[in-house]
Structure 1
């Protein structure tokens, strides 16, 4: 009799190991205030870009892909991979930043979407994985930017990386989260609201997906808008000082 082992514990152990190595070895000489964030970036590096390629492969390998199509085995594997990452990063926030309710809520609702798609309805992975790609395609730049920002005050090279990387990262993030993401969400909502998944995905499930993604995109737009304002103020201040 053939048995299928759930890969979720294995994936979680990988992210846990990476986090521990990053926290206690890779970033051991960093300030205790920023070591947890740096370790979180380490597991994000291990998840983000690989997830983009894995999700892309899982989507392209499914000839019958669609908003309400059944999940393929490879698509479920990618979902498990991402569930493991968000569980590990949620644990990170609960231990080190328990008052950061926005990120904790973000991880909880993201896990809700992945878990319901993977284990409750077993349909709709195409839509969820496209959204995963859009969310993670900027993760490499964001992690480098985050690490540089954390050390820019005491490391000159980090400050240079931060200043050089900020504009292109902001542009890429703005395009993905401000235009591509909302457009895909619109097409997804159009399909579901027209009853395209009524026989395989309960209404409360797909409506919750739409709500969660819309909220996440809104928060992302607000975040990047604030960063653009901050960058403008920093550059304007530098120009004023040079002009004196």
Structure 2
């Protein structure tokens, strides 16, 4: 890992979080300020990560599931490692009981760090998954912020209700269809043994377990949101007809 870039990214995300907490969202309720601040650093990570990862992968003509990491791919990994480390600190300080998100961040950091610092191969697979994971980030953060203020802001409530169906649909396609398809391709390649000379078996097995678990939880999460949405809309429909 290039410590200068990692430290720079870490300071950047930490500064954004502090500015969000003490300046941007200072008038918000103390109960939702931490979550809103987390959303802001996620916004500064999500879309830029998609753009950087896409450019890094397109710039690597020899990209493959076991190809060596390029300097640009490593830079994107440093960028994301810094973000997840900052957001992990956020959860440890404000939501230490949120075991699911803490475990998610620790597992993600494990995958990125082993790729970046231990084996120096396989960034193509992980950055492709990063693109799939973060392409919905901007929409998800806007939805989260609107949801957080929906009870005390009429405008936020309208945004939340309007944004929910397209966000759920977008998220469902990416996490429920494209993600599993890509993970299946990873499984086929790694189980063939083609990557074993450069990526130890225990490493790629752990990657697949982490990724498959994350996708499964994502599908369960969005499924529950769809159920909640249908119940809410059905309740509104019955109120109108009665």
> Smaller-chain TM-score range?
over 0.9
1:124 to 117, 122, 133: 122
1:196 deviation in Å? 1.3
Corresponding residue number in structure 2 for 1:48: 46
Q: Residues of 1 paired with 2:28 and 2:194: CA distance? A: 51
Q: Residues of 1 paired with 2:116 and 2:26: CA distance? A: 37
2:133 to 132, 135, 155: 135
Corresponding residue number in structure 1 for 2:150: 152
Residue 198 (structure 1) aligned with residue 196 (structure 2): yes
Q: Where has structure 1 moved over 2 Å in runs of 4 or more?
A: none
Corresponding residue number in structure 2 for 1:59: 57
Q: Secondary structure at the match of 2:10?
A: helix
Q: Residues of 1 paired with 2:178 and 2:3: CA distance? A: 36
1:16-46 Cα shifts (integer Å, max 9, x gaps): 0000000000000000000000000000000
Residue 12 (structure 1) aligned with residue 10 (structure 2): yes
1:6 deviation in Å? 3.4
Q: Residues of 1 paired with 2:30 and 2:38: CA distance? A: 13
1:5 deviation in Å? 5.1
Q: Which runs of 5+ in 2 are unaligned?
A: none
Count of aligned positions: 241
1:34-70 Cα shifts (integer Å, max 9, x gaps): 0000000000000000000000000000000000000
Please report the RMSD computed on the Cα atoms of aligned residues, expressed in angstroms. Answer: 0.7
Q: Residues of 1 paired with 2:122 and 2:137: CA distance? A: 23
Matches within 5 A, 1:226-241: 226-241=224-239
